[in-house]
Structure 1
Amino acid sequence: MAREFSRTRRVGQQLQRELAMIIQREIRDERLGMVTVNEVEVSRDMGYAKVFVTFLDDNPEAVKRQMEALLELTPQIRMLTASRVKMRVMPELRFTYDKSLVEGIRMASLVSQARSQDEAKADQFGRDDDEEQQ
């Protein structure tokens, strides 16, 4: 019987929970601001973990500063995570900015803007005329 989740996925989910707690509660660095850990992808050999993060401030300059701070704090975060997660070898953490949330919000606003423009045009050119003809 096939397993529903692979070991790497389970380890990734556990690392995601622990990293989110550590960054939120134990790392005291004002440069970081509000950080969200979206996902963690662990390599098959458990040697590397790609950590996808987003920030409350999505300004490109602020994101660059926050990523630099996060990269500087990576050894400390890895040490704290290793003390909480029972693994023989703690994966090397590689933080990556996740643009998908920002892009999703942008796309949703574009869709809602297009719908409102379509409704305005329909009202302007007579939606009632179409209903009378049918």
Structure 2
Amino acid sequence: MAEHRLERINQYIQQKIGELIVSGKIKDPRVDTLLSITRVEVSRDLSYADVYVSTFKSERALHRGIAGLQHAAGFIQSQLNLALHIRQTPRLRFHEDHSIQEGFEIIKKIEGLHSESGD
């Protein structure tokens, strides 16, 4: 499958899952609207998609959110199937991504260094 098509599918799935989270259509209470889909990697044969989830909240909130998303995976896949118009909708696998939390920690360290220098 062409790389550009896979990239478009990755971006579309990322956008669609983000919209479902923000709009509150995923009814699982563990899925917080502050969860962010950082990237999606669909396999070449479209059999599965690895979805990376991050948040600036606690590690516990991230674990709960991923569990909620995994529980709602069937609903999310059905919503993707309605919109993607492809023969096989990828099976979703959700993973932790600590990039947002790590980014906040780096900013705090930089601000700490900046305040220590007296500027």
- Confirm or deny a common fold (TM above 0.5): yes
The answer to whether the Cα contact below 8 Å between 1:22 and 1:81 also exists between their aligned partners in 2 is no
Structure 2: gaps (5+ residues): none
CA distance, structure 2, for counterparts of residue 17 and residue 66 of structure 1: 17
Look up the match of 2:45: 45
| Equivalent pairs, count | 116
Look up the match of 1:126: none
CA distance, structure 2, for counterparts of residue 22 and residue 113 of structure 1: 37
The alpha carbon displacement at 1:102 in A equals 0.7
Query: Secondary structure at the residue paired with 2:118?
Result: helix
Look up the match of 1:61: 60
Amino acid at match of 1:49: A
Deviation per residue, 1:74-129 (Å, 9 max, x gap): 11111121112111111111111210111011011101211221236xxxxxxxxx
Deviation per residue, 1:23-57 (Å, 9 max, x gap): 3332122221222222211122222211112235x
Look up the match of 2:97: 98
Look up the match of 1:132: none
Q: CA RMSD in A?
A: 2.0
Deviation per residue, 1:52-77 (Å, 9 max, x gap): 12235x22222222221111111111
Give aligned-pair identity as a percent: 28
Look up the match of 1:24: 22
Amino acid at match of 2:92: L
Which 4+ stretches in 1 moved above 3 angstroms?
A: none
